[in-house]
Structure 1
Amino acid sequence: MNIASVRRPIVPPTPPRAPDDMSFLGRLAVIRQNMIATWGQRAYEEEIIQGRLFLHKSFILNRPDAIRHVLLSNYENYSRTPAGIRMLRPVLGEGLLIAEGHDWTFQRRTLAPAFTPRATANLVPHMTAVLDETIAKLDAQTGEAVDLREVMQRMTLEIAGRTMFSFGMDRHGPALRNFVVEYGERLGRAYLLDMVLPVSWPTPMDRARARFRKRWTAFVATLIAERRAAGKKDGAPPRDLFDLMDEARDPETGKGFSDAQLVDEVATMILAGHETTATALFWALYLLALDPDTQEEVASETRGEHLDAIADIDRQKFTRAVIDETMRLYPPAFLIARAARDKDNVAGVAISRGDVIMIAPWLLHRHEKLWDQPNAFIPKRFMSTEAPDRFAYLPFGAGPRVCIGAPFAQAESVLALARLIGAFRVELVDTTPVIPYGVVTTQPDHSPMFRITRR
């Protein structure tokens, strides 16, 4: 069914597109503020765009078979760029998202059992408990102006804390949020020297990041020490992600994580497990506030459902489509950048050692050759029997390095949106357009106020 034939879908606001002839220095000036705003119309129409990034060529890939080659068929030839490593290592250390080669293989194999569908199902009670508390707090704010972005951040942080450690984040949450804000506002932005110098040459900002990392890892180690002090009954099944990760062993070598490795893995999972999900839920609520008819469809689907188990979540087909469409329009990771280790040929294009390959889900998900009405909010496109090409839709990446926590994030997002919209009608108080900007993740340029009323 073509939903556009029934009613015109909404088209949420986006940043103005850059002139296609914008100079390199002009793009460089915009990158630190909003990477999304550096792309012009060509990037939404052409399959492969070649440019230059300092001493090397750069390529934007919008062609699924080319993306498949880079992320799957020949993925070992492509590593993170120096700028990417600089942005992520201070907060993620040598965890799964950063590791390469044998280190990555060991971590992936060791962590895999903690993120199976069965393991995720065992964590759903932690999610529902936090959602019950969140809904109870929002009940006291019905009819008032509410910052739902902040509510989603606090809620997903609480879910991350309980699913990881089985304890709430009342005491530690403010400190953790301060770390996230501090890093995102200054240290997580790319500066000129970050992109020019090799990783082995520290920049002035690297020194600031190193100081941040020292404080950050000490904080995560404190959380781990508190969880270990709480203990676990002998012979009892794992009760949270920490139990699963602490007891995890590589099936081939029998090795587990050292204390330092565990700090990096926990940091990775807490950050990836709350910040990106909070952002996705904010955008979903924003879109549903703009589109009351679609909001009512979500509410109708949830009516009468208990929503306290994986089977209940799996039945929310339309709500899942809303989440999928939200992450198409606002992919949490708006850019995947890789550097070629050696020469290659990608869709007939010669790649040299050191060339930078950019796969931008923001562009890919809005590409005019890949999607019908690419800028419109049409959740039912994900309920069609014709699924999008696997390498045209990358909210969690693709290939061997696809996000290990995707099933967890999808379950949490669908459950949260279904429960919230099932309980409340959501509308915008602030009519100022919310413009997405890309710095670390796809964030809103401001937090609009919402009004919620009980259904």
Structure 2
Amino acid sequence: MNIASVRRPIVPPTPPRAPDDMSFLGKLAVIRRNMIATWGQRAYEEEIIPGRFIFRNSFILNRPDAIRHILLSNYENYTRTPAGIRMLRPVLGDGLLIAEGHSWTFQRRTLAPAFTPRATANLVPHMTAVLDETIAKLDARTGEAVDLRETMQRMTLEIAGRTMFSFGMDRHGPTLRNFIMEYAERLGRAYFLDMVLPVSWPSPMDFARARFRTRWTEFVAMLIAERRAAGKKDGAPPRDLFDLMDEARDPETGKGFSDAQLVDEVATMILAGHETTATALFWALYLLALDPDTQEEVASETRGEHLDSIADIDRQKFTRAVIDETMRLYPPAFLVARAARDKDNAAGIEIGKGDIIMIAPWLLHRHEKLWDQPNAFIPKRFMSKEPPDRFAYLPFGAGPRVCIGAPFAQAESVLALARLIGAFRIELADSNPVIPLGVVTTQPDHSPMFRITRR
């Protein structure tokens, strides 16, 4: 894809690329700190990188046709890896994100009506109310150094709480954030035994994860109980995601979710919805602070707009392109790993039973054969008449297992960025480069301080 640009685009900082001959032990030492730093130059240039991963054959795939086969044409042949299940099950249980087979089909069919564009449109007032409050709080801090990463985390958590339950997260937000930090900092990182032992054999960290899960599910069940106590008028339309999920029924069987299943679905939607959106917004603000000219283009597009409906959000074409380009450079899910149930041929690649397939959006989105100036921040590439190949750009995955909440996340991200940049001029107050870390999501290595001024 060729991109013409008058100005020289910015190239944000990244970790040094690993030596292509890095040993397995060397990778193991780095992998828990930053998975992104284990990939060398070869991974950004070649379409297929065969190797070995924990005693199994592995393939890193950067070929869109092969990725299409894995994620769409024969997706049922590929399951999450044991390490992936260990990392996710304690916080998501058997929710939609990690369910397989008939359980996944039931959950997907049942949840689908809650995430239609119409359902998302009905939740926009919750988003705008939180944004109004966030802008008012930031307005009182103009000229000061502000931690916008923390602000985005609090804001998206509040949006998650209101869109899910119709109540604010003032009382429960600190507890929820503590759960997330506790898990991400220690329990959500892969240890050697997590990767080599079968899922049925508990690793040492699994005992700590089990204790965490007990406390976590009790907390989510308490939120659900509080929401149910608030009630709903008979015959009234659904007012939040919880109403939609609680009333959801599989169109084929008529079954709904049990209380235990509802806990896992609510946990999945809150965590997947708030943390990934907060991180994407942080990176977008960081990029716009590095690139004041692009920031002014966003502000110009939002000028005079009310931005309180889906129609308003859809008109923000350039702001949407900024979000798309942000998620190209900093994909929330930097790696998708799958294990083959049986042997297969993916666009000419012979795959054996048990082989590990790694599709890394971090690599794919920066691949030198797929993108012009792959490391540069060029939002207008997403306004080109030549859109990227569907399987070369995977911020929300692809195929039947594409993120069900993608329309909601996109609407929230575009709305939030447009409103924030429309209200404030944002500059970095911290000169240290921010380096992305691949841990659970693509996170910054530190939270830089920003300075904001009213437009």
TM-score under structure 1 normalisation? 0.99
Mapped partners of 1:70, 1:29: distance in 2: 29
Mapped partners of 2:312, 2:79: distance in 1: 39
Mapped partners of 1:114, 1:179: distance in 2: 26
1:355–1:449 distance in 2 versus 1, CA, 3 Å: same
1:435 counterpart residue number: 435
Mapped partners of 1:5, 1:321: distance in 2: 15
Shift of 1:54: 2.1
Mapped partners of 2:256, 2:135: distance in 1: 39
Deviations 1:1-48 (A, max 9, x none): 976541100000000000000001101111000000000000000000
Shift of 1:416: 0.1
Mapped partners of 1:301, 1:55: distance in 2: 53
| Secondary structure in 2 matching 1:239 | coil
- Alignment pair present for 1:325 and 2:325: yes
| Secondary structure in 2 matching 1:345 | strand
Mapped partners of 2:125, 2:87: distance in 1: 34
Deviations 1:228-266 (A, max 9, x none): 000000000000000000000000000000000000000
| Secondary structure in 2 matching 1:448 | coil
Mapped partners of 2:55, 2:354: distance in 1: 9
What are the residue-to-residue correspondences of 1:38-437 with 2, within 5 Å?
Answer: 38-437=38-437
| Secondary structure in 2 matching 1:186 | helix
Note if contact 2:2-2:372 (Cα within 8 Å) is conserved in structure 1. Answer: no
Greater shift in the superposed pair: 135-144 or 49-58: 49-58
1:5–1:243 distance in 2 versus 1, CA, 3 Å: closer
Mapped partners of 1:273, 1:351: distance in 2: 33
Note if contact 2:152-2:281 (Cα within 8 Å) is conserved in structure 1. Answer: yes
Shift of 1:365: 0.1
Note if contact 2:56-2:355 (Cα within 8 Å) is conserved in structure 1. Answer: yes
2:20 counterpart residue number: 20
Shift of 1:55: 2.1
Mapped partners of 1:53, 1:424: distance in 2: 47
| Secondary structure in 2 matching 1:350 | strand
1:143–1:106 distance in 2 versus 1, CA, 3 Å: same
Mapped partners of 2:54, 2:398: distance in 1: 28
Unaligned segments of structure 2, at least 5 residues: none
- Computed over aligned residues only, the root mean square deviation of the Cα atoms, in angstroms, reads 0.8
Mapped partners of 2:3, 2:27: distance in 1: 37
Greater shift in the superposed pair: 372-381 or 48-57: 48-57
Mapped partners of 1:3, 1:42: distance in 2: 24
Mapped partners of 1:153, 1:407: distance in 2: 19
Mapped partners of 1:408, 1:270: distance in 2: 12
Deviations 1:279-311 (A, max 9, x none): 000000000000000000000000000000000
Shift of 1:348: 1.6
Note if contact 2:47-2:61 (Cα within 8 Å) is conserved in structure 1. Answer: yes
Mapped partners of 2:388, 2:218: distance in 1: 43
| Secondary structure in 2 matching 1:5 | coil
Mapped partners of 1:54, 1:330: distance in 2: 27
Mapped partners of 2:92, 2:354: distance in 1: 24
| Secondary structure in 1 matching 2:4 | helix
Shift of 1:347: 2.3
Mapped partners of 2:430, 2:251: distance in 1: 53
Deviations 1:161-195 (A, max 9, x none): 00000000000000000000000000000000000
Mapped partners of 1:181, 1:95: distance in 2: 20
Note if contact 2:57-2:355 (Cα within 8 Å) is conserved in structure 1. Answer: yes
1:27–1:335 distance in 2 versus 1, CA, 3 Å: same
Mapped partners of 1:240, 1:390: distance in 2: 31
Shift of 1:56: 1.0
1:5–1:383 distance in 2 versus 1, CA, 3 Å: closer
Mapped partners of 1:379, 1:185: distance in 2: 32
Shift of 1:397: 0.1
Mapped partners of 2:202, 2:68: distance in 1: 34
Alignment identity in percent?
91
Shift of 1:349: 1.8
Shift of 1:95: 0.1
| Secondary structure in 2 matching 1:214 | helix
Shift of 1:155: 0.1
Unaligned segments of structure 1, at least 5 residues: none
Mapped partners of 1:46, 1:347: distance in 2: 15
| Secondary structure in 1 matching 2:213 | helix
Deviations 1:396-442 (A, max 9, x none): 00000000000000000000000000000000000100000001100
| Secondary structure in 1 matching 2:304 | coil
Mapped partners of 2:167, 2:36: distance in 1: 37
Mapped partners of 1:344, 1:289: distance in 2: 46
Mapped partners of 2:449, 2:315: distance in 1: 31
Mapped partners of 1:168, 1:350: distance in 2: 52
2:454 counterpart residue number: 454
Deviations 1:300-352 (A, max 9, x none): 00000000000000000000000000000000000000000000112222111
Greater shift in the superposed pair: 374-383 or 3-12: 3-12
Note if contact 2:3-2:372 (Cα within 8 Å) is conserved in structure 1. Answer: no
- Alignment pair present for 1:6 and 2:44: no
Mapped partners of 1:452, 1:257: distance in 2: 45
Deviations 1:59-89 (A, max 9, x none): 0000000000000000000000000000000
Mapped partners of 1:3, 1:391: distance in 2: 19
Mapped partners of 2:10, 2:446: distance in 1: 20
Shift of 1:273: 0.8
Mapped partners of 1:357, 1:213: distance in 2: 28
Segments of 4+ in structure 1 off by > 6 A? none
Shift of 1:454: 0.1
| Secondary structure in 2 matching 1:3 | coil
